[in-house]
Amino acid sequence: MSKGNGDLVQLTGKDFKSDQEVRWCPGCGDYAILNVVQGFMPELGLSRERLVFVSGIGCAARLPYYMQTYGMHSIHGRAPAIATGLAVTRPDLSVWVVTGDGDALSIGGNHLIHALRRNVNLKILLFNNRIYGLTKGQYSPTSELGKVTKSTPMGSLDYPFNPLSIAIGAEASFVARAIDTDKKGLTEVLGAAARHRGAAFVEILQNCNIYNDGAFDYVRDDKENRIYLESGERIRFGAEGEKGVVQYADGSLKIVDVEEAGENSLLVHDASHMQASLAFALSRITFETDGAVPLGVFRSLEREVYDDLMNDQLDAAREQSGEGDLATLLHTGDTWTVA
Amino acid sequence: MAKVKPVEHLERVVIRFAGDSGDGMQLTGDRFTSETAAFGNDLATLPDFPAEIRAPAGSLPGVSGFQVHFADHDILTPGDQPSVLVAMNPAALKVNVGDLAKGGTIIVNTDAFNDRNLQKAGYASNPIADGLLSDFHVHEVALSSMTVEALKDVDGITSREAERSKNFFALGLMSWLYNRPAEGTLAFIESKFAGRPEIAEANTKAFKAGWNYGETSEDFAVSYEIAPARLEPGTYRQISGNTALTYGLVAASKLSGLPLFLGAYPITPASDVLEQLAQLKQFGVRTFQAEDEIAAAGAALGASFGGALGVTTSAGPGVVLKSETVGLAVALELPLVIVDVQRAGPSTGMPTKPEQGDLLMVMFGRNSFSPVPVVAAATPAGCFHAAIEAARIAIKYRTPVYLLSDAYLANGSEPWLIPDLSTLPDISTEFATGPNGDDGSFLPYKRDPETLARPWAIPGTPGLEHRIGGLEKENETGNISYDPENHDLMVQLRAAKIAGIAADIPLLELDDPDGADTLVLGWGSTYGAIGAAARRVRAGGRKVATAHLRHLNPFPSNTGDVVRAYDKILVPEINLGQLRMLIRAEYLVDAVGYNKVRGRPFLAAELADAITTLVDR
């Protein structure tokens, strides 16, 4: 692999560290994510110049500065739009969007859903800490109802978004979730996202130890509450795999005791199911409703990729009418000559 | 089609076609214009239509008009007053008759003058019968019924469809009356309605019936001929501003060697550019109809980051939404062309009507100090070169550039001497390929000493990996910096880069044949009206100078010398004095304005009056 100077060498995570000092708060979950992302990059098998990280605004959005790749720290919420223009004109690049819950789901909600439905070849990493960190502690669109923050002294009135439900509803062809400190789980999800051609949406549960500490302790600390999804496998979890997920006739899911329900009654996960309803139902399993959190790949479906379709049309047009000729274009329609 | 009636010669004619939005008046006007262009007259057009696609039939707001001015000499405007009005219904008559020159000709579709339509137009009685039109020469033509009669043998169309061909009957009649060549229109009908041969047959028959009606009816005693104008030799075509702008962007892509990426959201009157570019994929043009104006601009900037020519097109209500992206482009120092086809505002305003109200917005409508070059087209055909110039500056100086057009330029058309491609400028650039630092590092904000432009290092270039963003950057390295002196330096450098473009643009051209003491200074689409007004003033024995700005930021380097050489300066604008404010602030001269904001171009006559008043003061 090229290190950038044409020499073929094996890159390591260190090769993806830029010379900039990392400036998140000590103890922030972003450090863990950055380390995993840098450590994962060599697995892509791409030289550094072919990687681009585009971010919006927020704590997460600083990540591109720390990556020894091409990068753009852009405008609040707009990264998916900017990255779309880059990805469709440069199909040779691997384009990653780094965003947060405010950036992606509040100010940039519109761009996120349209990038997903178009299936632009982008890898979108949403660091969800359920709070506005950079602006110092206001509630975010994923904060729970009633949350007391600096801007909601009597409690938030906003019902929260479920990021995965949004992504699935927006026709995302790849949807996954991981935890900042779960190196193995996050690395696997990043790999699956990278291998997916099209838009890949990854929610990363990230702890903001300053303004929303412990928001995900129920799954960050308590590993028995993690439901690791494996396509083709029955969905079960718990310290001994004693709990599982069953699906009722009405499509709803429920956590059951495996011994009571019987192993054969457990739901088999299928991330590539044509219908989005299974992935959607899984996204509705939350700690608040069921005391457990599914992780891994919820949905991974092959679908037409916007970039490919656009570039195919260019090829088709050239095949049909030849490479465009400017002089011919200017003379289109009725012309007349003055001697 | 041979002529048997006598032919009179005229120097120029202004015709206005007017009817319901659904009557096909824009198509009729377009076709008449094409015939006129093919004949070799000089011409200018002014389409004038409501934003509603189909306002209630027969109502005053639903009237759609198309004015064409053609002559045996060069002309500059679509004409102040029509000499001929074709009115397809009472509402069209009512809306337009006040503009008609006294002694002018009206051709009315008498079939539409029934009680119901008269009432909708607010006429208490029939104006044709009760002498309200005695100042004009009125031709009463039963356009609808004669069209239906002429098409009774066409198979496969309903009587309603037959009636809808009446605009081709009117076109045939007008084509006969002004001796226009018919071949182009007949060929157009064949190709446009190729999928419905019965409609093609109906329209062809209606056109011929209208022509023959002129030839045989005693109501039309003579026909008219307007000799071809003496234009510069070469090959011509008719072109509208939006088409010229589209071609200019494609040309800029070819001339720069950069693939064109357009991000756009549909908006009147700019959507044509998106639609036309979408048809030019064989030029490697990628069009992205974004989810909103913001994404359209953002995607274009993302494409520029990757080495494409990023362009976003809109009108004022969309351009306001793009301002944060333009600010980012200022900070990133990447090329971006933002096209603003101005329309009347504020807010939604009057979507189909022109205005020059966005100049100060594009100059200053961003947070902090974010200078952006501004280029403005002056004529419909001029949009071609203006687009190339905007792209040239954007690419060479790594900066967003605003390109201003307006609804009048966008939809108006004129003959265009198709340029020889070898006369177009080379606007190619070089991407960075290697380190530029003394120590072998890559410094993304180390500037070219002459242009102050930074290197454009596109992703995919080995060894030049770097990060850019909206945060303030340290000079040369581009690293995040909050250093006070560095910020001051960067603000100054960004300002100096844009100001320095003045040395790289043409000088302001002055037209002052007689040594006047009054200057008329304009910008944008008022070019034609100012030129026509100056001709009138000079023909009346007075002296006046004119100059027209095509670069609004920075101004051409001689602008101060030009304006300070005159005692009196008039700045006509379709706003309340935006260029005037800039000129007064920049050069401390006592410029006065002529400002009317009606959603329509200036009349040459009113400008001539305003100039005369100032000259005589």
* Residue range B92-138, pLDDT digits in tens: 999 999 999 999 999 999 999 999 999 999 999 999 988 889 999 99
Residue in chain B closest to A52 (alpha carbons) equals: B459
Query: Nearest CA of chain B to the CA of A224: how many Å?
Result: 40
Q: Which residues contact B597 (CB under 8 A, 6 or more apart)?
A: B344, B355, B357, B574, B575, B576
Residue A2's pLDDT band, with cuts at 50, 70 and 90, is very low
A chain contacts of residue B328, beta-carbon cutoff 8 Å: 74-75
Q: What is the mean pLDDT of residues B228-235?
A: 92
- pLDDT for position B2: 52
- pLDDT for position B21: 86
Query: Nearest CA of chain A to the CA of B38: how many Å?
Result: 6
Query: Nearest CA of chain A to the CA of B184: how many Å?
Result: 8
Query: Nearest CA of chain B to the CA of A199: how many Å?
Result: 16
Q: Residue A183 pLDDT more than 70?
A: yes
- pLDDT for position B3: 57
Q: How far apart are CA A55 and CA B181, in angstroms?
A: 60
Nearest to B281 among A2, A314, A334 (CB): A314
pLDDT digits (tens, 9 = 90+) for B325-370: 999 999 999 999 999 999 999 999 999 999 999 999 999 999 999 9
Q: Which candidate in B239, B255, B281 is best for mutational testing of the A interface (most A CBs within 10 A)?
A: B281
Distances (CA, A) of B113 to B60, B127, B468: 14, 9, 67
Q: Which candidate in A93, A122, A334 is best for mutational testing of the B interface (most B CBs within 10 A)?
A: A334
B chain contacts of residue A74, beta-carbon cutoff 8 Å: 298, 328, 469-470
Residue positions counted in chain B: 617
Residue in chain B closest to A84 (alpha carbons) equals: B299
Q: What is the mean pLDDT of residues A209-236?
A: 97
Q: Residue B604 pLDDT more than 90?
A: yes
Q: Which candidate in A59, A68, A72 is best for mutational testing of the B interface (most B CBs within 10 A)?
A: A72
Nearest to A84 among B40, B254, B299 (CB): B299
Residue in chain B closest to A338 (alpha carbons) equals: B233
Q: Residue B377 pLDDT more than 50?
A: yes
Residue A9's pLDDT band, with cuts at 50, 70 and 90, is low
Report residue B502 as tokens. 């003045």
B chain contacts of residue A51, beta-carbon cutoff 8 Å: 459
Q: Residue B613 pLDDT more than 90?
A: yes
Report residue B134 as tokens. 């005695």
A chain contacts of residue B247, beta-carbon cutoff 8 Å: 329-330
Query: Nearest CA of chain A to the CA of B221: how many Å?
Result: 31
Cβ(A31)–Cβ(A69) below 8 Å: no
Residue in chain A closest to B312 (alpha carbons) equals: A85
Residue in chain A closest to B296 (alpha carbons) equals: A81
ipTM computed for the complex: 0.96
Q: Residue B284 pLDDT more than 50?
A: yes
Q: Which candidate in B282, B286, B383 is best for mutational testing of the A interface (most A CBs within 10 A)?
A: B282
- pLDDT for position B53: 76
Nearest to B299 among A82, A90, A316 (CB): A82
Query: Nearest CA of chain A to the CA of B611: how many Å?
Result: 35
Q: What is the mean pLDDT of residues B457-463?
A: 98
Query: Nearest CA of chain B to the CA of A158: how many Å?
Result: 25
| pLDDT above 90 coverage of chain B, percent | 95
Contact B298 A318 (CB under 8 A): no
Q: Residue A65 pLDDT more than 50?
A: yes
Torsion (CA) A109, A115, A116, A117 in degrees, nearest 10: 110
Q: What is the mean pLDDT of residues B205-234?
A: 94
- pLDDT for position A197: 97
Query: Nearest CA of chain B to the CA of A59: how many Å?
Result: 13
Residue A4's pLDDT band, with cuts at 50, 70 and 90, is very low
- The single-letter code of the amino acid at A28 is C
Nearest to B460 among A92, A322, A332 (CB): A92
A chain contacts of residue B184, beta-carbon cutoff 8 Å: 334
Report residue B298 as tokens. 């953002």
Contact B302 A85 (CB under 8 A): yes
Contact A329 B283 (CB under 8 A): yes
Cβ(A237)–Cβ(A160) below 8 Å: no
Helices (H), B141-217: 143-150, 159-163, 166-177, 183-192, 197-216
Q: Token pair 């349209």 is at which residue?
A: A114
Q: Residue A1 pLDDT more than 50?
A: no
Residue in chain B closest to A74 (alpha carbons) equals: B469
Cβ-Cβ pairs closer than 8 A, A with B, add up to 209
Q: Residue B49 pLDDT more than 90?
A: no
Residue in chain A closest to B472 (alpha carbons) equals: A73
Contact A335 B479 (CB under 8 A): no
pLDDT digits (tens, 9 = 90+) for B174-199: 999 999 999 999 999 999 999 999 99
Q: Residue B441 pLDDT more than 90?
A: yes
Q: How far apart are CA B405 and CA B382, in angstroms?
A: 10
Query: Nearest CA of chain A to the CA of B302: how many Å?
Result: 4
Average pLDDT over chain B reads 96
Q: Which candidate in B433, B467, B479 is best for mutational testing of the A interface (most A CBs within 10 A)?
A: B467
Q: How far apart are CA B497 and CA B505, in angstroms?
A: 14
Q: By C-alpha distance, which of B263, B241, B376 is closest to B309?
A: B263
Query: Nearest CA of chain B to the CA of A112: how many Å?
Result: 10
Distances (CA, A) of B456 to B90, B308, B436, B445, B490: 61, 11, 12, 9, 18
pLDDT digits (tens, 9 = 90+) for A275-298: 999 999 999 999 999 999 999 999
Q: By C-alpha distance, which of B49, B36, B375 is closest to B225?
A: B36
Report residue B193 as tokens. 């309605």
| Pairing mode, strands B510-511 and B545-549 | antiparallel
Residue B25's pLDDT band, with cuts at 50, 70 and 90, is very high
Q: Token pair 């037959």 is at which residue?
A: B162
Peptide bond preceding B554 in cis form (omega within 30 of 0) = yes
pLDDT digits (tens, 9 = 90+) for A69-122: 999 999 999 999 999 999 999 999 999 999 999 999 999 999 999 999 999 999
Residue in chain B closest to A67 (alpha carbons) equals: B467
Average pLDDT over chain A reads 96
Residue B408's pLDDT band, with cuts at 50, 70 and 90, is very high
Q: What is the mean pLDDT of residues A217-231?
A: 96
- pLDDT for position B418: 98
* CA B559, B241, B239, B205 torsion-angle sign: negative
| Longest CA span, chain A | 96
Q: By C-alpha distance, which of A143, A70, A60 is closest to A106?
A: A143
Q: How far apart are CA B276 and CA B278, in angstroms?
A: 5
Nearest to A65 among B184, B302, B480 (CB): B480
pLDDT digits (tens, 9 = 90+) for A259-279: 999 999 999 999 999 999 999
